Amino acid sequence: MKLRDIIALGLLVVLAIGGRIMSGGDGGGERRPDPRRYAPPVAVAPPAEVPAAPITKMDDTPAPPAGAQPRLAADPAQIGADLVADELALRDPATPEAALVAAARRQQAAYRAIGRNPAWDPIIRPMIPPNLLQTYDRNIDARRQLTAMAPVRDTLPAWRIIPPAPAGELLGYYREAEVATGVGWNYLAAINLIETQFGRIAGVSTAGAQGPMQFMPQTWAAYGTGDVNSPRDAIMSAGNYLAASGFAANPDRAIFAYNRANEYVRAVTDYAAILADDPGAFAGYYRWEVYYKTTAGDVLLPVGYAESQRIPVGEYLATHPQ
């Protein structure tokens, strides 16, 4: 082979090898970017933001069945702390209705439990904030006075439990009666609370009293006007009776005439004082439920309870766990 042929052949080899390296073949040399793979990015609108699902705290304790009593903590100190939280929630305008109902029902159950257990007083009372202490003391005293009055029974009453009149209507009736009779609206509200839980109890008492303000027939005949079962008529008539009994000069004596028990007078006075100092307390009381004191303990009678005659408490509890 001649020298020029050798040189030409060498040049062909060099060109072939160089072209393979620069084309990015299987060898390990540096690769050039492929313009088709690295085109300028196209602007894409970001995806619509999807709100995160709310994180729900799971409670290991199953929810109570309908009509069951609110569950309280086993520790008295925790009952006290929860009571304070519920009292504050009931006074917060931002608290939604469902939370108000739950707070009021726990509040009621807590006061009933604390009332039954005076040994808890040195544990719970120091936990109550100063601005709630007087309210706490009066609620506990009222509860203990009413407990002392209530007999323990082994049967449940022949009552119907119905929804009360709207809160705004009741407050209007109390104010109307106050103007007409001079009896404070807060006293009328306290009596309505104690007697029938603001009209939830539809039935005749063991003594024969009737209507949301629980009038005896002879008293209604003397002081009542209209329908004994009408919230407005009953509240106005209660004002008439208390005024005629000397409320202006001696409220305690007039309340004693309404129900001849010193414990009753103290309970009414306690609740009336709370409402006078803090009208917002009505929000909690209005949402309280009906309890009945039995040999099996406190039994909650929810809206919808309806019995035409007394029934054994055990029979009711068999199908209505508390």
- Whether 124 is covered by a domain: the verdict is yes
**Are residue 172 and residue 271 in the same domain, yes or no?**
yes
Q: What percent of the chain has pLDDT over 70?
A: 80
Q: What phi and psi, each to the nearest 5 degrees, are found at residue 201?
A: -85, 115
- Whether 141 is covered by a domain: the verdict is no
**Are residue 224 and residue 273 in the same domain, yes or no?**
yes
- Whether 58 is covered by a domain: the verdict is no
- Whether 146 is covered by a domain: the verdict is no
**Number of domains forming the structure of the chain:** 2
Burial class (CB in 10 A: 0-12, 13-18, 19+), 80: buried
Over residues 31-41, the mean pLDDT reads: 30
**Are residue 100 and residue 165 in the same domain, yes or no?**
no
Give 305's pLDDT tier (boundaries 50, 70, 90).
very high
Over residues 169-180, the mean pLDDT reads: 98
CA–CA distance, 297 with 318 (Å, rounded to integer): 14
Amino acid at 218: Q
Beta strands in the chain (DSSP E): 155-156, 160-161, 201-202, 290-294, 297-301, 311-312
**Are residue 300 and residue 178 in the same domain, yes or no?**
yes
Query: What does the angle CA 268 – CA 274 – CA 278 come to, to the nearest 5 degrees?
Result: 145
Pick the residue with more confidence: 22 or 161?
A: 161
Give 1's pLDDT tier (boundaries 50, 70, 90).
very low
**Are residue 292 and residue 228 in the same domain, yes or no?**
yes
Range of the domain at 84: 70-128
CA–CA distance, 195 with 213 (Å, rounded to integer): 6
- Whether 147 is covered by a domain: the verdict is no
Amino acid at 217: P
**Are residue 211 and residue 90 in the same domain, yes or no?**
no
For residue range 79-92, what is the model confidence (pLDDT) as tens digits? 999 999 999 999 99
**Are residue 116 and residue 211 in the same domain, yes or no?**
no
**Are residue 228 and residue 267 in the same domain, yes or no?**
yes
Domain-ending residue, one of 96, 128, 160: 128
- What does the CA dihedral 78, 122, 90, 115 come to, rounded to 10 degrees? 100
- Whether 33 is covered by a domain: the verdict is no
Give 308's pLDDT tier (boundaries 50, 70, 90).
very high
- Do 110 and 83 contact (CB within 8 A), yes or no? yes
Give 24's pLDDT tier (boundaries 50, 70, 90).
very low
Pick the residue with more confidence: 27 or 131?
A: 131
Over residues 105-125, the mean pLDDT reads: 98
Give 312's pLDDT tier (boundaries 50, 70, 90).
very high
Instruction: Give 156's DSSP letter.
Output: E
CATH number reported for the structural domain that contains residue 224 in this entry: 1.10.530
Domain-ending residue, one of 128, 162, 194: 128
- Whether 178 is covered by a domain: the verdict is yes
